[in-house]
A and B are shown apart, each in its own frame.
Chain A
Amino acid sequence: MSNTTVELTRPSVQAKRSPGKLAILWKEVRRHKVSYFFLAPFLLLFTLFTIIPVITSFALSFTYYNMIESPKFIGWSNYKLLFVDDDIFLKAIANTLKFAVITGPVGYIMAFLLAWLISQIPVKYRFIYTLCFYTPAITSSIAISVVWLYMFSGDRYGLINYWAMKLGILNEPWLWLQNIKTIMPVLIIVSLWMSMGIGFLAFLAGLQNVPRDYYEAGAIDGIKNRFQELWFITIPSVKPQLLFGAVMQVVSSLQVFDISIQLLGMPSVLYAGHTVMTHLFDYAFIRFEMGYATAIAVVLFLMMVGLNRVIFRLLGSGE
């Protein structure tokens, strides 16, 4: 009883202030309060740990803040410092882009092609191959770094040096993780090994669900081989998954961090494996220069969102 009276009186109070649209909206909101109740836990946590942090990051990036004194507004100084004076940051950006330009497209195409190849074989064998390719992606990079450190070890006991010297490719041990020529390639190889992740699963699932009659119709229309099928039927049918996979790939290739710290240490030799994320971590949780660190975070945020907007424009315009 009391509930209905509230519902009746509240909109009229609103209506006095701004009649029309807002009142109708308020009425609608109240009518759907159950819906908002379901959304509440997520929205509360999402606001607290995503929305507020994003806004705060933008605000803090214009301040000097060390967690002890309260933040002091310093305008664009952090950004000026980042792009003009901080050579290590520029190096980190260059490294991150170099890394992303290779692992992004290569990892993405590899994931799609492998998923496509797997979808060509009978269902009963698919799982075993899926497991082979997906397991590296879910392996803790800390756990597996034990193996990589041994493989790429710089002395003659390292697996790669051992074989390279035995086969006569190298005369003396190569310092894989200390020589700036090989730091980046090693990082890229290890990341590609781990790159058949969530996107790979999305492709695999999408490819399994392309309706069979599309192919039958295609055969009638004169599709001659598997590659024409792939290009004219399969790819257009899994476009939504391709977009999802691309978004995930952009994010994961720009946030390279764990493997760099694990394999190369912090900082890496001559900062050759230094990335935007490691730079951020250094300033945030080692030096506690939070203002400067949030400026780095904002740059990374803008890189990710900007690149994903481009991806959306390229892949998302289908329907």
Chain B
Amino acid sequence: MIGTSSIVKGKRFDFSGIFLYTFLTVLGLLMLAPLVYMFSSALKPTSELFLFPPRFFVVNPTLKNFKDLLLATGTSIVPFSRYIFNSIVVSSFIVVGSIVIAAMAAYPLSKHDMPFKKFIFNMILLALMFAPQVTQIPQFIVIKELGLINTYVALIIPALAAPVSLFLMKQFLDQIPNALLEATRIDGGNEWTTFWKVVMPMLKPAWATLALFSFISAWNDPWAANIYTTTEDMKTLPLALQTLSGGYGVVARTGTVAAASFLMVVPTILVFVITQRMVLETMAHSGIKE
């Protein structure tokens, strides 16, 4: 009697089960609808783009919009592929860099016992509490004083030391027992080789997680390029898309904009699909325990 509907005895396909699936499915489809519409617009020929009333799904899919995007905009100052290239360069450096830097910093914070350890971690916790945007002005001044305007470095280094990366990495490392590290420690190896040969491989799920989060924030962020660059050839994909769509009030070039949006969104979804299993493994340890 007790707990018949609870997880333990779980009768999955009772009435409430059907209701649960229906609810989740309907809500899930609603959430996906804007994205599906965007994808189908990217594949629509001109005749379908301006139909009234508009069609949700594409009937005669075509790659013309993508061709237009890569060719027609090529006649403007820089080819569109340049923005894609910039975005890929910046995002890859941020992903690899922040994983290595966060892993290196997480190791002593989690497994060593040195002075100021608690103080450093508390500072990271404090930094979690505000958005990096509030420090944007002095950051801009730092970048400017270092003479880094219009360089890839300016787009990359401010994003490398993200507090949330170190936090997640450290929480994940905390739950790996010290005994396990000791057992696999290579005889005669120093801390440096131990880190690369023993600790790094164990952190794999945490890498995947940081890869996801740092990739998404780097790939989607137009503001770094907006602030730190002034020339057309240093723009990244989101900033170029913002210019292309004209933002608010402009409905021109619907097809090419949809194609560019498609190119923006697909990589983020792919990265999530690839990393999701390891991400959930890491996020299980994301809690803030005092």
Contact = CB atoms under 8 A, between A and B. Distances in A.
**Same assembly:** yes
A229 B5 CA distance: 10
Given A38-B107, A135-B35, A157-B52, A293 B257 contact: no
Contact of B161 (A46, A196, A240, A242): A46
A38 B105 contact: yes
A121 B2 contact: no
Interface in A231-286: 238-244, 247-248, 250-252, 254-255, 257-258, 261-266, 277, 280, 284-285
A131 B272 contact: yes
B153 to A, nearest CB: 12
A143 interface: yes
Nearest to A35: B108
B133 interface: yes
B101 interface: yes
Interface in B235-266: 238, 241-242, 245, 247-249, 251, 254, 257-258, 260-262, 264-265
A38 B104 contact: yes
Contacts of A120: 7, 20
Interface in B155-197: 157-158, 160-161, 163-164, 166, 190-192, 195
A148 to B, nearest CB: 7
A140 B268 contact: yes
Interface in B122-136: 123-124, 126-136
Interface in A291-319: 293-294, 297-298, 300-301, 304-305, 308-309, 312, 316-319
Contacts of B163: 46, 50
A57 B138 contact: yes
B85 interface: no
A82 interface: no
A117 interface: yes
Given A39-B120, A117-B20, A215 B287 contact: no
A144 B286 CA distance: 29
A126 B105 CA distance: 33
A4 B119 CA distance: 28
A157 B254 CA distance: 14
Contact of B247 (A118, A257, A265): A265
B216 interface: yes
A290 to B, nearest CB: 6
B277 to A, nearest CB: 8
Interface in A110-158: 114, 117-118, 120-122, 127-136, 138-151, 153, 157
Contacts of A298: 134
Contacts of B284: 205-206, 208-209
Contacts of A57: 134-135, 137-138
Given A42-B102, A143-B265, A202-B287, A117 B24 contact: yes
Given A49-B135, A240-B288, A284-B136, A146 B129 contact: no
A264 B6 contact: no
Nearest to B131: A255
A255 B283 contact: no
A277 B134 CA distance: 8
A46 B123 CA distance: 10
B31 A147 contact: no
Interface stretch (A12-20, A72-80, A99-107, A218-226): A218-226
A179 interface: no
Contact of B130 (A277, A304, A317): A304
A265 B249 contact: yes
Residue of A263, A277, A297, A298 ringed by the most chain B CB atoms within 10 A: A297
Contact of A50 (B52, B107, B161, B290): B161
B265 A301 contact: no
A144 B35 contact: yes
B31 A135 contact: yes
Given A49-B161, A241-B287, A277-B133, A294 B138 contact: yes
A149 B248 contact: yes
A23 interface: no
Contacts of A149: 248, 251
Contacts of B265: 139-140, 143-144
Contacts of A216: 8
Given A121-B20, A202-B287, A226-B5, A142 B129 contact: no
Given A134-B272, A139-B220, A240-B288, 13 more contacts: A39-B109, A42-B105, A46-B123, A49-B158, A60-B138, A114-B27, A128-B28, A131-B273, A201-B280, A239-B287, A244-B287, A247-B129, A285-B227
23 contacts: A34-B112, A34-B191, A46-B161, A46-B163, A53-B135, A57-B135, A114-B24, A121-B21, A135-B35, A139-B220, A143-B262, A149-B248, A219-B2, A225-B6, A241-B286, A243-B287, A247-B128, A252-B131, A261-B247, A261-B248, A285-B140, A293-B137, A312-B290
